[in-house]
């Protein structure tokens, strides 16, 4: 089955007239009335001179549209086009809404008649490796914004192996992505921010929420986030109010081969650091070194993590927890699956710390190469009910299906089904099977 690929503007790879030839007249954005003309609170980016042809740098024009809309409280509209951005990207310092029209995806068979094309939709194209795409943050001397909404936009980035344009360079062995900042950054103190229906085709880093320290961030909702972020997908830190992450689909939309190999060695799909009561639902992550990571930062550790519906496919580790005890309560996970890859002895569920308490209900682990569940560290407790382990190959790996060591305890409910391929012990350490 051909893998999904997205065709983006030919201008990302070609310059001058050759690039412009890929964009028929009017294909990027139609002519619009003068600023403020006849649309109430809606400001079209083309009103301020944005072209959307993938070649013209539209940063200043888009920023002017954002500033106009923010001054009166309104919507910034992105007609179909490919809007090229450079440093500093788009900066949002007051309540405003960025509104695209979505994006068009095209399935192709790699190597079979690929050609440059211009998909419909609203695309932000960043070919400056030092630049973010969108930053939500306080202006100097002002309060951080609240009530910002970003929706129905797609982002692509210039990488050593192209930017989603066909034909594009073949990714060679040893591929390393551009060392770029997060494409979307929601800064300290920002609250009541919504990002929904956002496509991150091939960014090195996707979305950060409250990552920079300073005043706490909170009440942020990310919903409908797709793409192939290569190094870090979504990271939360210093968020001291409820955050919600819903309907995530990270998949190799852009490239497999050496790109996917690098991602499998280095990539983390979702990272939770200091975040209070995060609620994750409907998360799918494919081909990362770690699917979901709970870790500690100078701001602290996550509290009361709740995951409902998570599928970590071809991830070396599905869920990794490396945090201290949480006095606010255990971290809970329901309806979670982890599949492969059968390549090393990394545990599918890996809990390491001191006094960490986790609870799993309806957990399925298949085609893995190491322990299905490993919990290690004094006072750590893992509860799992309705556990299904199938086709886990422990031959010669020195690992058990369920391991609780270093003072940790694992309690596994009676409703379980465990099948080991080849040899290998079912349990190791202080494991209690009901």
Q: Answer whether residue 89 shows pLDDT above 70.
A: yes
- The rounded distance, in Å, linking the Cα atoms of 8 and 227 is 14
- The rounded distance, in Å, linking the Cα atoms of 145 and 223 is 20
Q: Answer whether residue 226 shows pLDDT above 50.
A: yes
**Two structure tokens written together for 51:** 């072209």
Lowest pLDDT segment from 87-91, 97-101, 259-263, 417-421: 417-421
- More confidently predicted of 310 and 391: 310
DSSP calls for 64-79:
HHHHHHHHH--EEE--
114-133 pLDDT, tens digit each: 444 556 799 999 989 999 99
Average pLDDT over residues 260-283: 96
Average pLDDT over residues 108-118: 44
Q: Is 98 exposed, middle or buried (0-12, 13-18, 19+ CB in 10 A)?
A: buried
What residues does 429 pair with on adjacent strands?
A: 404
Give 3-state DSSP helix, strand, coil % of the chain, rounded to 5: 10, 45, 50
Q: Answer whether residue 166 shows pLDDT above 90.
A: no
Backbone angles phi, psi at 167, to 5 degrees: -75, 150
Average pLDDT over residues 48-62: 96
The H or E element containing residue 263 is helix 258-266
Q: Are 57 and 85 in contact (CB under 8 A)?
A: yes
Average of per-residue pLDDT values in the chain: 86
How far from each other are the two terminal CA atoms of the chain, in whole angstroms?
43
- pLDDT for res 165: 65
Q: Answer whether residue 19 shows pLDDT above 70.
A: no
Phi-psi region of 5 (alpha: psi -120 to 50; beta: other; left: phi over 0): beta
Which of 262, 321, 253 has its CA nearest to residue 291?
321
What residues does 209 pair with on adjacent strands?
A: 186, 236
């Amino acid at each position: 089955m051909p893998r999904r690929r997205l065709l983006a503007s030919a201008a990302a790879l070609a310059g001058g007239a050759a690039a412009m030839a890929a964009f028929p007249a009017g294909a990027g954005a139609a002519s619009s009335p003068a600023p403020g003309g006849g649309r109430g609170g809606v400001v079209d980016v083309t009103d301020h001179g944005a072209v959307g042809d993938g070649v013209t740098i539209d940063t200043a024009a888009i920023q002017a549209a954002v500033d106009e809309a923010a001054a009166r409280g309104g919507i910034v509209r992105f007609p179909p086009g490919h809007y090229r951005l450079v440093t500093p990207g788009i900066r949002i310092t007051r309540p405003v809404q960025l509104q695209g029209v979505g994006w068009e995806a095209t399935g192709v068979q790699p190597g079979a008649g690929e050609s440059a094309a211009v998909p419909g939709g609203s695309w932000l194209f960043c070919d400056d490796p030092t630049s973010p795409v969108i930053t939500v943050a306080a202006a100097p001397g002002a309060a951080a914004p609240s009530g910002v909404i970003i929706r129905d936009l797609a982002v692509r980035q210039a990488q050593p192996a192209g930017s989603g344009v066909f034909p594009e360079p073949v990714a060679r062995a040893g591929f390393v992505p551009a060392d770029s900042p997060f494409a979307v950054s929601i800064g300290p103190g920002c609250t009541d921010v919504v990002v929904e229906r956002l496509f991150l085709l091939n960014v090195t880093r996707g979305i950060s929420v409250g990552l920079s320290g300073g005043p706490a961030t909170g009440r942020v909702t990310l919903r409908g986030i797709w793409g192939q972020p290569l190094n870090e997908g979504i990271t939360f830190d210093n968020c001291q109010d409820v955050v919600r992450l819903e309907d995530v689909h990270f998949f190799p939309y852009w490239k497999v081969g050496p790109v996917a190999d690098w991602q499998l060695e280095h990539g983390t799909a979702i990272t939770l650091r200091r975040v209070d009561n995060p609620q994750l639902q409907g998360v799918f992550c494919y081909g990362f070194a770690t699917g979901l990571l709970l870790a500690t930062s100078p701001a602290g550790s996550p509290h009361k993590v709740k995951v409902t519906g998570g599928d970590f496919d071809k991830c070396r580790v599905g869920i990794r927890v490396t945090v201290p005890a949480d006095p606010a309560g255990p971290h809970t996970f329901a309806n979670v699956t982890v599949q492969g890859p059968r390549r090393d002895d990394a545990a599918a569920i890996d809990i390491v710390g001191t006094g960490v308490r986790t609870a799993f209900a309806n957990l399925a682990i298949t085609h893995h190469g190491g322990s299905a569940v490993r919990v290690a560290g004094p006072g750590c407790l893992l509860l799992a009910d309705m556990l299904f382990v199938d086709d886990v190959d422990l031959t010669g790996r020195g690992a058990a299906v369920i391991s609780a060591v270093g003072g940790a305890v694992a309690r596994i409910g009676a409703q379980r089904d465990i099948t080991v391929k080849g040899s290998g012990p079912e349990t190791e350490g202080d494991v209690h099977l009901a």
